[in-house]
Amino acid sequence: MKRILVVFGTRPEVIKLAPVVHALRRHPDRAAVTLCSTGQHREMLDDALDAVELRPDIDLNVMRAAQHPTDLLGRLLLALRPALDDAKPDIVVVQGDTATVAAAAFAGYIHGAKVAHVEAGLRTRDKRMPFPEEINRRITGVLADYHFAPTRRAQEALLAEGVPAESIFLTGNTVVDALRWMRQRTAKQPPPANLAADGSRLVLVTAHRRESFGQPFRELCEALRELALRFDDIQIVYPVHLNPNVQKPVREILGACDRIRLIDPLGYAAFVSLLTRAYLVLTDSGGIQEEAPTLGKPVLVLRDKTERPEGLATGVVRLVGTSRERIVAEASRLLSDPAAYATAAREVDVYGDGRAAERITQVLLGGPLSIPPFSPA
């Protein structure tokens, strides 16, 4: 019986780890699974837990208003120590690139547990973009014993860093597992109340990156305002992150625009329902760069660099940065040119086949790997 401690702190971590947790719990004779929530992003975490039908066994509740990354990291390390003492895990499972991931990997290492990193190997090679996520991933990569690479490029990045090949497993991304499950659950539900009801094309926006705060974020908002004025057949829906550095410019620049709906952050089920109905997606989120192409939605990435380049190679995803001029030009092309839109509006499978959690579970429990490694066409 392996004691497995799964640590998460944000909504994306919960969503991407849920398929793994449910897969592990199908083997109660081989795994004792404890869920530890750090509560890093409390305001959006609880809904995600409800959506994926999970409850934490341990809640560290480290969230503080306007917390500085260094303060957060310190609280995480202090809070994780007694949790690890109590759980005595053989394996600590983390996912992604947050402070929770880096802290839990380090704490697990100090306590003598093996560290399993889900979604390992994503890199931009620029420690400031994304900030601080790039460094959180690299720290976790040094500490991990199991590297679950979602793509071949991620696998190659780990090999280039000297990670032993026998500790890297090509699995696909668990976000595809979660997305397919949630899409089935929401398929027959009515559209969210926030969806335009007048037949307009829905442009879905999410933007909250720390490296964009300040003037780059204002440029981004000005681009959205210009698009709303230029196209009278679109409805921009923007679930606005609660960070004051996001709220202030968004409300100031976009608050009075008729064709822009600024709404509170959505629960996962509602967001998937909205995403499936979107005509175009503009985002700086990592996970949405994976989810939208899986659903065949064209994506403009509001960042200068991405650690998920696989989507760029398909033409479904384009990197546009935060320049007002560039955003307006690229979005206008897709909104005005049916041929360009048709080229980008294609479902692609570069991020997973929906069986990543099965592969991860087999590795963690030492079972036979009867599922072939993920290999997109």
41 is catalytic: no
Handedness of CA 7, 95, 237, 217 (dihedral sign): positive
Q: Which of 41, 123, 241, 303 is catalytic?
A: 241
**Residue 332 CA: distances (Å) to CA of 233, 234, 254, 300:** 12, 11, 18, 11
**Spatial distance between the Cα atoms of 268 and 185, rounded to a whole number of angstroms:** 11
User: Is position 43 annotated as part of the catalytic site?
Assistant: no
Q: Which of 133, 219, 284, 304 is catalytic?
A: 133
One DSSP character per residue, 279-293 reads SEEEE--HHHHHHHH
Q: Which amino acid is at 160?
A: A
Q: Indicate the angle between helix axes 286-294 and 174-186, nearest 10 degrees.
A: 60
- Write the CB contacts of 178 (distance below 8 Å, at least 6 apart in sequence): 15, 16, 18, 19, 52
Cα–Cα distance, 91 to 364 (Å, whole number): 8
CB atoms within 10 A of CB 129: 17
Active-site residue (options: 13, 47, 97, 211): 97
* Residue 229 CA, distance from chain mean position: 31
Residues 6+ apart with CB under 8 A from 199: none
| List 41, 123, 147, 208, catalytic entry | 208
Q: What three-state secondary structure class fits 234?
A: strand
133 as an active site residue: the answer is yes
241: annotated active-site residue: yes
Question: What is the strand order of the sheet 168-170 is part of?
Answer: 58-59, 31-37, 2-8, 91-95, 114-118, 146-149, 168-170
Catalytic residue among 119, 134, 330, 358: 119
Close Cβ partners of 252 (under 8 Å, ≥ 6 residues apart): none
Instruction: Classify residue 172 by burial, with Cβ atoms within 10 Å: 0-12, 13-18, 19+.
Output: buried
> Could you confirm whether 97 is annotated as catalytic?
yes
What kind and span of H or E run contains 226?
A: helix 215-230
Catalytic residue among 42, 138, 201, 210: 210
The answer to whether residue 13 is catalytic is no
Active site positions, annotated: 97, 119, 133, 208, 210, 241
